[in-house]
C-alpha cells in the first residue's frame, strides 16, 4: 500500500513539474514578454497620469492584460483632435505608424449631472487619473507612444516597447 501511494506521489510530482504556466504581467522594464503577447490577441494597457509641480503631466504604465480574440473596429471610439487630448500611436518595428487613436484628456473629464433643472455637463479638473488603451495585436505592433496634444505641437509623455 505504501509503495502504491509513493508511486502516485511520484507521478503527481512529475506532472506538476512538466506544466508550463505563463502570466500576462510586464517585466521590470515595463515591456511585455514576447512569449506572452501572441498574434491575434487583445492587449489592454493601463496607465496613470498626474500633474507635476511644474505643471506638466507624467504618465506611468501600471498594468498589462492580454486576452485571446479580436476587437471589432466599430467598438473603438475615437475622440476629437483638440488641445488637451492624448494621441495614442501604435508603431511598427521600423517606427512606422500603424494606427492612431485620440482619447479625451483624463485629467479634465466632462461629467454629466442630472438635477431637477435637467442634464448639465461639468468639466472636472483632477490632479491624478487613470486611463487605458486596448488594441488588436496581430504581431506587427512593437511599441505604443502617448503624446499630449497642444495648440501648437505634441508633447511625448511615454513610449512603451512591447
Distance CA 84, CA 150 (A): 6
Say how far apart CA 38 and CA 69 lie, in whole Å. 10
Q: Please state, rounded to an integer, the average pLDDT across all residues of the chain.
A: 79
Report if residue 15 sits inside a domain: no
Residues contacting 94, CB < 8 A, separation 6+: none
In a domain, 45, yes or no: yes
| Residue 3 is assigned to a structural domain of this protein | no
**Is the pLDDT at 49 greater than 70, yes or no?**
yes
157 is in which domain, residue-wise?
22-161
CATH number at residue 111: 2.60.40
162 — pLDDT class (breaks 50, 70, 90): confident
d(CA 23, CA 25): 6
Number of folded domains that form the chain = 1
What's the CA gap between 146 and 133, in Å, rounded? 10
pLDDT reported for residue 14: 53
pLDDT-based confidence at residue 34 (cuts at 50, 70, 90): very low
Q: Measured between alpha carbons, how far is 96 from 93 in angstroms, rounded to an integer?
A: 7
Q: Is residue 76 part of a domain?
A: yes
Q: Which helix (H) or strand (E) holds 5?
A: helix 2-18
What is the pLDDT, as a whole number, of residue 111?
87
Residue 82 is assigned to a structural domain of this protein: yes
64 in a structural domain? yes
Could you give the CA distance from residue 52 to residue 50 in angstroms, rounded to a whole number? 6
Taking the model in full, what pTM does it have?
0.70
Residue 41 in any domain: the answer is yes
The pLDDT value given to residue 77: 64
Instruction: Tell me how far apart the alpha carbons of residues 124 and 156 are, in angstroms, rounded to a whole number.
Output: 24
SS3 of 74, please? Answer: helix
Instruction: Give the single-character DSSP code of 69.
Output: S
Q: Is the pLDDT of residue 66 over 90?
A: yes
> Residues 20-41: what's their mean pLDDT?
49
Q: Is residue 2 part of a domain?
A: no
Amino acid at each position: 500500500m505504501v509503495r502504491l501511494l509513493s508511486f502516485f506521489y511520484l507521478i503527481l510530482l512529475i506532472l506538476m513539474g512538466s506544466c508550463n504556466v505563463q502570466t500576462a504581467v510586464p517585466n521590470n522594464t515595463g515591456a511585455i514578454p514576447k512569449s506572452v503577447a501572441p498574434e491575434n490577441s487583445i492587449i489592454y494597457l493601463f496607465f496613470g497620469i498626474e500633474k507635476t509641480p511644474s505643471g506638466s503631466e507624467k504618465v506611468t504604465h501600471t498594468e498589462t492584460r492580454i486576452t485571446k480574440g479580436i476587437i471589432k473596429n466599430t467598438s473603438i471610439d475615437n475622440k476629437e483632435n483638440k488641445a488637451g487630448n492624448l494621441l495614442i500611436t501604435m508603431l511598427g518595428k521600423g517606427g512606422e505608424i500603424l494606427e492612431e487613436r485620440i482619447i479625451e484628456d483624463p485629467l479634465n473629464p466632462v461629467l454629466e449631472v442630472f438635477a431637477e433643472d435637467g442634464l448639465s455637463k461639468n468639466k472636472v479638473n483632477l490632479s491624478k487619473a487613470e486611463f487605458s488603451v486596448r488594441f488588436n495585436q496581430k504581431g506587427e505592433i512593437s511599441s505604443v507612444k502617448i503624446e499630449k496634444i497642444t495648440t501648437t505641437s505634441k508633447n511625448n509623455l511615454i513610449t512603451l516597447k512591447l
